[in-house]
Amino acid sequence: MHRNQALLLACAVLGTLASSTPARAQAAVSVNGMLDLGVFHGFDGVNQVGTVQRSNIAFSGFEDLGGGVKAVFRMSTRVELDTGISEGAGFKPFWHDEATVGLKGGWGTVRVGRAMTAMWAQDWKFDPWANYNRIASPAWQHWHYLTPSDPFANNGTAEYGRLNNGMFYDSPMVGGFTLRLSGSPERQREPGATGRPYSAVLEYERKAVLLMAAFERNSVGDNNAFVAGKLTFGAAAVMAAYDDSRTFDDSGISRSATLSATYRLGRTTLKAGYSRQRLNADTNYVASLGADHALSRRTVLYASLGRKRDARQDGRTAFGVGMSHAF
């Protein structure tokens, strides 16, 4: 290759890189998630290796469209780390966790697809275990007990948390307030479906105070009212929540009151929680203790202990230890 030809080729390559760099800077795709595995004795009395919390892998990204507007997307699936299979394989979709695309601007974020409803996506803030731990989380045991977010989302079976064919809106924060809405314009055709599902959340956050009020109705008319608060002072935080979950005809009613707390000691966070549920004529209880120890910002060792007692069943205890790694 002649010297002039080499020089022209080098200039062409540099020109291409220079012109493409701004485009690459305006878009990004990331891979993230959390891997969790523990050894535990479940409430069913069985000793096992498995997912105490939840493991997921997500692909997300954005493209800057100009004018302060971005196109955004997220695709997330869950996996059982002990076996490598998808969570709920056989009846849950592969992109069980989330599959959305949308727009984000100064007016908020709008997404369309499958995702957690407004209420389910935010309640974790008021549970020390983030409504994510099958051993210790009082929220996991008692909240939204009778109101699946989508009764038919998983190949005709109920989904607790997510909505198919949904639209999701999160407003910008104004004076400490944030409005979150979700719903579906589709009317489901399955037997029992009587209306379009919707969920609404109003949050208030100011310094050490976080408050939330939510109402949700699913497509068969089951409804859920939820209020919660969190107060943080120094290394400690106290959380309280009240959940009223009932079927469309009030034949089933669940009311639960939860009080929880956390306390940080260096890299270790201590947790405690208690919940009392009134399920129709029965009274049920859950008491929990736990500790997280951060080996790094991404890797945590934890221990969980839960004790629950149902009106029609003797007390049962679950306990275990595990490790989670976020990436």
**What are 213-245's pLDDT values in tens digits?**
999 999 999 999 999 999 999 999 999 999 999
Q: Is the pLDDT of residue 130 over 80?
A: yes
pLDDT at 10: 40
C-alpha distances in Å from residue 232, one per residue of 24, 190, 205, 266, 274: 40, 45, 11, 16, 18
| Residues of the domain holding 302 | 29-326
Distance CA(33)–CA(116), nearest Å, equals 16
Q: Is 8 inside any structural domain? A: no
Q: What is the mean pLDDT of the chain?
A: 92
Q: What is the mean pLDDT of residues 167-184?
A: 98
Q: Is the pLDDT of residue 152 over 50?
A: yes
The answer to whether residues 262 and 245 touch, using CB atoms and an 8 Å cutoff, is no
Domain of 33: which CATH number?
2.40.160.10
Give the count of domains, the chain: 1
pLDDT at 312: 76
pLDDT at 192: 87
Q: Is the pLDDT of residue 91 over 90?
A: no
- Look-up of token digits 């096992």: 48
Q: Is 20 inside any structural domain? A: no
Distance CA(100)–CA(112), nearest Å, equals 5
Q: Is 82 inside any structural domain? A: yes
Q: Is 195 inside any structural domain? A: yes
Q: Is the pLDDT of residue 18 over 50?
A: no
For residue 151, what is the enclosing H or E element? strand 150-154
Q: What is the mean pLDDT of residues 278-303?
A: 97
pLDDT at 156: 86
- Per-residue confidence band for 189, with pLDDT thresholds at 50, 70 and 90: confident
Report percent pLDDT > 70 for the chain: 92
Q: Is the pLDDT of residue 11 over 60?
A: no
Q: Is 214 inside any structural domain? A: yes
Q: What is the mean pLDDT of residues 4-10?
A: 39
Q: Is the pLDDT of residue 1 over 70?
A: no
- Look-up of token digits 């490598």: 84
Give the count of beta carbons closer than 10 Å to the beta carbon of residue 194. 12
Specify the range with the lowest mean pLDDT, choosing from 14-28, 129-143, 272-286. 14-28
Q: Is 19 inside any structural domain? A: no
Q: Is 57 inside any structural domain? A: yes
Residues with Cβ within 8 Å of 180's Cβ and at least 6 positions away in sequence, in order, are: 118, 121, 122, 168, 169, 170, 171, 200, 201, 202, 203
Q: What is the mean pLDDT of residues 95-113?
A: 97
Q: Is 197 inside any structural domain? A: yes
Q: How far is CA 244 from the centre of its chain?
A: 20
